[in-house]
Structure 1
Amino acid sequence: MNDWHSDFVTAIKEELKDEKVEIKQEEYLSKEPLRIDVIIIKKEKDVKINKRIGQIFKRYNIIEYKSPDDYVSIDDYFKGLGYVYLYKSIMNAYEKSRKEVDDIKIEELTLTFVCSNLPKKLISFLAEHKIKLDNSDNGIYYIHNEWIPVQIIVLSELENVEENYPLMVLSNNMYFKNAIEKIFTSINEAKEYDNKIRLIEAAFRIDPGIVSEVIKMYADRLNEEQMKYVINNLKEANFKIYTEEELKKSIEKGMENLVIRLLKKKFSDIPEKYIKLIEDADEKTLLQIADNIFEINKIEDLEKYIVN
């Protein structure tokens, strides 16, 4: 199922995973179906957000996201402002059980629009009405002269892959391929799998060709468990990346590199003869070597597993 808003929530969670914030999806503003896309609440109101996208953040930060085939219209802009003021007037302050008058201060609120491409009509409209814009950060447009801090994040214009890769894969960004590569090189822990896989699935809907290319290119960077996890999850999402033969070869290539890395850590230098033996070994043999790596005390011991 194509659900860009959930993909965006995944991306923003990944983007701000190291920050002290709580992220809620589709916060209802009333009993009627009136809701905002994301509300980011600082757990500690005075803590500073390190990421550039959060430089304007205060205690309560409302995010309105537009999918790749949508845009921020003039009316969307005013609706976003309306959501902020409704949130201030209706919702309880963080960790309070009931609403009190003015318990959420106007100074504690910000508004962020996130879209794939620059909303030119809106930009022109704001300029006509003397609303100042500052694009000192590539891809982030700060809007002044409003009662609250407002920014527009244009995903296709972001340039800092290291910092913004989770968001960059949701658009046709110039550095889209680099952002996908960053996802693969940052899969380190099992707890990160689900978010990373979801981002890869979302990226497929942007450019399946580039994502397939990156998966094949980085197959040898993943260990066997990671590789199988990636492929199985993407297969379940009905994305055909590999034929069965390609899948087998990719997993074997990943195992080859894993075994070579383990042996280099243990013995520093590996004669070319043994590198060749490892490259010619099948998946079962490579797995046996990896499982018994601590029992291999000299490089010649490899022959017990490889040479009949």
Structure 2
Amino acid sequence: MGKDKLQWHPAFAAALRITLSEEMKYLELQEEYLLSKAPPKIDILAIKKLREIVIQKKIGRIFRGHNIIEYKSPEDVLSVNDFYKVYGYTCFYQSNTEHVREIDPKDMTITFAGSHYPREMFRHLQEVRNITIEKKSKGIYYLQGDAIPMQYLNLKELDEDENYWLQVLRTNLKAGEEIRTLVSNYEKNRHSKDYSAVMNLIARANWKQMEEEKGCVTH
């Protein structure tokens, strides 16, 4: 099955909701949030409903009131241009309100998420914008030195215990134990729309491995 038309973003949003499920009562996630009546769009806008609540999951500890999230599919690498695009969208989002400072700039964050270490982008930020890159925990890098708090999530490096469904958003799952664990974890939650959305995408992205594992089971 071809992978060229796989829709990764809805599955990422679903996996994000699963990962933050215990604290979703404090968050509102809006997918492909429209910055105006026509594109451009923000991949995910996470608005914290109660400002005093601190998100306990490591990927959300940086969150403030308004959190812009940019996701790159497994084939894509976050580029310097991507950084400025998202930063620009964030500034536009802040300013596109009826009243001045209706959204406090200090109440915003940016999260970038992908499956590859963005070496060129990090180098540019360090050399041109004097931003330092600090690894806070497995797969979580804080981009420090800007007025807007920012982080990069390297999905394949994240702590599996907290971020399993973000980690398996890949095209290179292995037949055998890895696929069996995936199916087992899904079966426990198969009636959830979010779990179904993630599983459907993963199955299509790893079609050969899934078929190989199915063949092993039937034999």
User: Same-fold call, TM > 0.5?
Assistant: yes
| Structure with larger Rg | 1
Given the superposition, is the C-alpha separation of residues 64 and 34 from structure 1 closer, same or farther in structure 2, using an over 3 Å criterion? same
Q: What is aligned with 1:10? A: 14
Query: Once the 2 structures are TM-superposed, how far is the Cα of residue 10 of structure 1 from its aligned partner?
Result: 1.2
Q: Is residue 54 from structure 1 mapped to residue 60 from structure 2 by the alignment?
A: yes
Kindly indicate which of the two structures has a greater share of residues assigned to helix.
1
Tell me by how many angstroms 1:202 deviates: 2.2
Question: Which secondary structure does the structure 1 equivalent of 2:84 belong to?
Answer: helix
Match of 2:156 in 1: 156
In structure 2, what is the equivalent of residue 283 of structure 1?
Answer: none
Distance 1:25 1:179, change over 3 A: farther
How far does the alpha carbon of each residue in 1:54-99 deviate from its partner, in whole angstroms, 9 at most, with x for none? 01000100001111111111011011111111111114xxxxxxx3
Aligned with 1:103: secondary structure? coil
Structure with more of its chain in strand, by fraction: 2
Whether 1:139 aligns to 2:143 is no
Q: 1:127 and 1:173, CA in 2 relative to 1: closer, same or farther beyond 3 A?
A: farther
Number of corresponding residues: 211
Give the whole-Å Cα distance in 2 for the aligned partners of 1:138 and 1:207: 25
Q: Which residue of 33, 42, 46 corresponds with 1:36?
A: 42
Residues 190-231 of structure 1 show CA distances to partners (whole Å, capped at 9, x for unaligned) of: 642x32232222223443455457xx6xxxxxxxxxxxxxxx
Identical-pair percentage:
32
**CA apart distance, 1:148:** 0.5
Residues 14 and 195, structure 1, Cα contact 8 Å, conserved in 2: yes
Three-state SS of the structure 2 residue aligned to 1:134 is: strand
Between the aligned partners of 1:64 and 1:107, the Cα distance in structure 2 is 19
Q: Distance in 2 between matches of 1:161 and 1:173?
A: 16
Is there any run of 5+ residues in structure 2 with no aligned partner, and where?
none
Deviation at residue 15 of structure 1 after TM alignment: 1.3
TM-score for both structures, normalised by structure 1: 0.61
Q: Which has the higher contact order (CA 8 A, sep 6+)?
A: 2
**Contact (CA 8 Å) 1:4, 1:67: kept in 2 or not?**
yes
- Structure 1 residue matching 2:22: 3-state secondary structure: coil
Letter in 2 for 1:149: P
How far apart, CA to CA, are the structure 1 residues paired with 2:102 and 2:60? 23
SS of corresponding position for 2:21: coil
Report the Cα offset of residue 125 of structure 1.
Answer: 1.1
Aligned letter for 2:151? Q
Give the TM-score normalised by the residue count of structure 2: 0.84
Ranges in structure 1 where 5+ consecutive residues have no aligned partner: 92-98, 217-240, 250-308
Greater mean deviation of Cα atoms: 196-205 or 181-190: 181-190
For residues 117-141 of structure 1, what are the alpha-carbon distances to aligned partners after superposition, in whole Å with 9 as ceiling and x for unaligned? Answer: 1111111112223210101311111
Equivalent position SS for 1:148: coil
Please give the secondary structure, in 2, of the residue aligned with 1:88: helix
Q: Map 1:279-290 to 2 at 5 A.
A: none
**Residues 185 and 35 from structure 1, CA distance in 2 versus in 1: closer, same or farther, beyond 3 angstroms?**
closer
1:102 matched residue in structure 2: 101
For residues 62 and 179 of structure 1, the distance between their equivalents in structure 2, rounded to whole angstroms, comes to 32
